[in-house]
Structure 1
Amino acid sequence: MVNEIRSTSQKEIGVVVTTSHNPSKEAVELAKKLSQNFKVPYYNRRHLSERVKTGEIKIYYVVDNNLQLSVIAPAGRLFFHPGMAKIRMENYKRDGRDLLLEALRPSYEDIIYDATFGLGMDAVFMAHFVKQVIGTEVSVHIYRVVSYGLSNYKSKEEWINEAVKKIVLFNDDMKDFIKRQPDKSFDIVYCDPMFENPVYESSALNPLRPLASYDTIDTEIVEEMIRIARKRVVIKTLIKDSLLERLSVKFDRVITSKRSGLIYACVDLDR
């Protein structure tokens, strides 16, 4: 049983909801509805530019005429799109191998907890192979866009549509969430904290960086992850980062990609 608390948003300064230019009636109605849900003002798009220039508005959500939601921050536009999951599946079907799957060793009855959900690129892929993925995302801006996308995105790939149905996402801090969970709440716990040395060539992630949490994990929180896991805990990091060196945890397997520099460090509890 998952014990969860959704965080509630306080009044946010410099954040509004608007539409794209020349909006449809449906887009305006949805934008006004989301402004109420988010507890931030709705602005007519014609009235936005000057306030952005003066810095009065720093972040704004946009509903376009396809009723898709994005958030625009100084680093760019962030929106939900499971394109990387599609590419990953194509590579897996072609090569018969994926390092994340090798780390997870999932079965179709497993429930995975994704502690640092982000844009959900890993979660959509993982969800295809398991019963359910429960995720937490601490950034309210990332949570809003991704949660909306999970509920409304329609793919030409039916496996993606089925996968997103198996995902439940909460706007919560993983450290608080984990401490509220009973022992052995999940089959697998997966954690992908923001890298110390990010790959800036990953253009899809660049708009996320200013909105994301850079709060890292320590030995205590990994021990809590081990407590709530039945089968294993998997930590994703980079070869050039120092995360694993700072953790006083015995990992049973460390899977490394020489090409990308990614590391999956695994604590196997079902060995």
Structure 2
Amino acid sequence: MISETLNCGAIVTTSQKGKGDLIPRAKGAAKLLRIPYVERKRLSLANLQANHKNKDILIFSQKGPQLFTGEGKAHEFHLSMAQLRLIAYDRGETDHLVEALGPEAISSFLDCTAGLGSDSLVVAYAKRSCKKMVALEGNPLLAYITNYGLRHFVHENDTVTAALRRIQVCAVRFETFLQRAKDDSFDVVYFDPMFEVPVTESPQFLSLRGHLVESVFTEAILREAKRVAKERVIVKERPFSSIFQTMEPDELLGGKYSRVAYGVYKVKG
């Protein structure tokens, strides 16, 4: 994982029965992220958080790193809805993100809002010739967990595992990355910002909302993204989003009854 987003105002600890290499791994992550390592001392997560000004907690357990925000259960890496999307794709059903990419092969893809890495995984699986897969996440704790999952999760389908391994996570805000990127660096630049009106059926992010970097997608960001993209910029939002009203896309893709849509902004040559 490449990290430029540091000192995130959190702490690192282990599970209550943390043993073996968990403690040195937790201390290593604390050093990387420049945040304190705190000995668990069999405290509950709620009590540990209360003792440290309600800071978010990165927990090292035998199952892998987890993020505790104080809202709901601790978050850990999982395939989320990507698993169902991959099954549907293999059945020949339309995935609207894949449709938004266009029928042509792509060699590079920039996901500006990685989150759990679900969308990047679908793209990596569907576009197997795409070798340059970069996923940006502004919250370094979530970036750490997503990167761990992409590096260690083993799927029963070897092709899915290979797709996971091709994705490189960078812990950096997309505004910073785009400013530094060269013109035409990626075939496609993709955004999945926090929806203006949340989808209530998305429980995987309920405990994280309010704890993530919630950057606003603006016309200036769109211009910068189109400078970096060779072919197109794709934005995922609700169909009625103000983004699509103020920045009308060249195409708006999504099912008739879909709660989300993909706006395609083509880069003119």
TM-score normalized by the length of structure 1: 0.88
Change (3 A) 1:106 1:142: farther
Letter in 2 for 1:18: T
Equivalent of 1:254 in 237, 241, 252: 252
RMSD across aligned C-alpha pairs, in angstroms?
Answer: 2.2
Partner of 2:219: 219
The SS at the match of 1:207 is: coil
Partner of 1:266: 264
Letter in 2 for 1:72: F
CA distance in 1, matches of 2:98, 2:163: 15
CA distance in 2, matches of 1:27, 1:19: 7
Question: Which structure 2 segments of 5+ residues have no match?
Answer: none
Question: Which structure 1 segments of 5+ residues have no match?
Answer: none
The SS at the match of 1:210 is: coil
CA distance in 2, matches of 1:156, 1:121: 17
CA distance in 1, matches of 2:11, 2:157: 33
Partner of 2:144: 144
CA distance in 1, matches of 2:222, 2:207: 28
Alignment of 1:117-196 (within 5 A): 117-128=114-125, 129=127, 130-196=130-196
Size of the aligned set, in residue pairs, is 262
Is contact 2:80–2:204 with CA below 8 Å preserved after alignment?
Answer: no
Please state how far the C-alpha of 1:257 moved relative to its aligned partner.
2.5
* Residue 25 in structure 1 maps to residue 20 in structure 2: yes
Q: Structure 1, residues 82-113: CA drift from partner, whole Å, max 9, x if none?
A: 24222101011224311111111264442011
Is contact 2:5–2:139 with CA below 8 Å preserved after alignment?
Answer: no
Change (3 A) 1:106 1:21: farther
* Residue 86 in structure 1 maps to residue 98 in structure 2: no
Is contact 1:75–1:207 with CA below 8 Å preserved after alignment?
Answer: yes
Q: Structure 1, residues 110-157: CA drift from partner, whole Å, max 9, x if none?
A: 201111111111001111212231121111221122122222222222
Partner of 2:245: 245
Is contact 1:16–1:43 with CA below 8 Å preserved after alignment?
Answer: yes
Is contact 2:66–2:76 with CA below 8 Å preserved after alignment?
Answer: yes
Alignment of 1:92-107 (within 5 A): 92-105=89-102, 107=104
Change (3 A) 1:164 1:176: same
Is contact 1:194–1:213 with CA below 8 Å preserved after alignment?
Answer: no
Letter in 1 for 2:238: L
Change (3 A) 1:105 1:246: same
Identity %: 28
Q: Which moved more, 1:157-166 or 1:106-115?
A: 106-115
Partner of 1:71: 67
Q: Structure 1, residues 162-213: CA drift from partner, whole Å, max 9, x if none?
A: 1122111111121221122222111111111110001132111212212222
Is contact 1:155–1:161 with CA below 8 Å preserved after alignment?
Answer: yes
TM-score normalized by the length of structure 2: 0.88
Please state how far the C-alpha of 1:57 moved relative to its aligned partner.
4.4
CA distance in 2, matches of 1:189, 1:106: 16
Change (3 A) 1:97 1:109: same
Is contact 1:141–1:211 with CA below 8 Å preserved after alignment?
Answer: no
The SS at the match of 1:41 is: coil
